[in-house]
């Protein structure tokens, strides 16, 4: 398995702003359905842990050993955290290593996680989610707003949004290209870092699937979910071309898969 996050998992969190609003949003959604939550493509499990701290019983699943290693460190360092609330498992979204579990709510958060999946994997993964959700259980997907991709994300270099560990400096350069016909957002990124005076560099090149609102709604319907609702961000404002995100919420239908 090629782990796309292998070289930069250790600084992944520093490039995210404070995630309190996001955690409150997902906690509010989960609250409507029940306490058993699957955080699919959980990455470093920052959101998973905060949900566990709020009393949810969370399973975090991710493909990347590097991201899960950071998640494990986070868990080990969380002295206040009741260990039974969060479990982490390595797994592929379309063949989840989970049997006999039922979840009340599944989230695929982190702007772009679901977009790592191509069309076939995306459908297969939604069917896996359907298998693991109880009838009537909820699903939330956070996707990129395709309208914004045409206008923002130029080639640029930027520093982390959060403090880095002592003695560590990092800087990321990205060059992005949106291909609306193919529905793909191509990303080339280089991360340069210095740890205690020693310089290093990582480079990744990958494409994310950009879902149009009607495409993702059709995909969800084909995977056994009821009518999906589109929002533009965590405050649940209506989705429009200027929205920061495309948030999609839906419920699992009770019927067997179409």
Residues 204, 7 contacting (CB under 8 angstroms): yes
> Using CB atoms, what's the residue nearest to ligand SAM?
110
Tokens of 23: 């955690």
Nearer Cβ to ligand SAM (29/64): 64
Residue 110 makes contact with ligand SAM by CB under 6 A: yes
The reply on whether position 116 binds ligand SAM by CB under 6 A is yes
Given the complex with ligand SAM, which of 139 and 253 has the nearer CB atom? 139
Residue 47 in contact with ligand SAM, rule: CB under 6 A: yes
- Cβ proximity of 102 and 68 under 8 Å: no
Q: How does DSSP assign 11-39, residue by residue?
A: GGGGGS---HHHHHHHHHHHHTT-SEEEE
**In angstroms, rounded to a whole number, what is the distance separating the alpha carbons of residues 56 and 257?**
28
92 binds ligand SAM (CB under 6 A): yes
109 binds ligand SAM (CB under 6 A): yes
Contact with ligand SAM (CB under 6 A) among 50, 62, 104, 245? 62
Annotate 132-145 with b (16+ C-beta within 10 A) or e (fewer): bbeeebbbbbbbbb
Residues in region 159-218 near ligand SAM by CB under 6 A: none
| 64 near ligand SAM, judged by CB under 6 A | yes
Q: Alpha-carbon distance 56 to 20, whole Å?
A: 16
**Footprint on this chain of ligand SAM (rule: CB under 6 A):** 5, 41-43, 46-47, 62-64, 67, 92-93, 109-110, 112-113, 116-117
């Amino acid at each position: 398995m090629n782990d796309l996050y292998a070289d930069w998992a250790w600084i992944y969190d520093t490039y995210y702003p404070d995630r309190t609003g996001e955690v409150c949003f997902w906690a509010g959604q989960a609250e409507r359905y029940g306490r058993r939550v699957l955080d699919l493509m959980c990455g470093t499990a920052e959101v998973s842990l905060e949900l566990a701290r709020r009393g949810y019983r969370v399973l975090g699943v991710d493909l990347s050993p590097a991201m899960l290693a950071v998640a494990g460190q986070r868990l080990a360092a969380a002295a206040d955290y009741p260990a039974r609330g969060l479990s982490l498992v390595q797994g592929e979204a379309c063949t989840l290593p989970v049997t006999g579990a039922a979840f009340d709510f599944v989230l695929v958060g982190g702007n772009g996680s679901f977009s790592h999946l191509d069309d076939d994997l995306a459908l297969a993964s939604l069917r896996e989610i359907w298998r693991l959700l109880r009838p009537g259980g909820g699903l939330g997907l956070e996707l990129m707003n395709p309208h914004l991709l045409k206008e923002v994300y130029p080639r640029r270099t930027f520093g982390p949004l959060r403090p880095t560990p002592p003695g560590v400096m990092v800087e990321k350069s990205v060059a992005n290209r949106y291909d609306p016909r193919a529905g793909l957002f191509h990303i080339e990124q280089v991360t340069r870092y210095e740890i205690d005076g020693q310089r290093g560099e990582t480079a990744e090149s990958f494409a994310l699937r950009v879902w149009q609102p009607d495409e993702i709604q059709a995909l969800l319907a084909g995977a056994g979910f009821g009518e999906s609702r589109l929002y533009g961000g965590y405050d649940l404002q209506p989705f429009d071309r200027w929205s920061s995100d495309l948030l999609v919420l839906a419920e699992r239908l009770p019927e067997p898969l179409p």
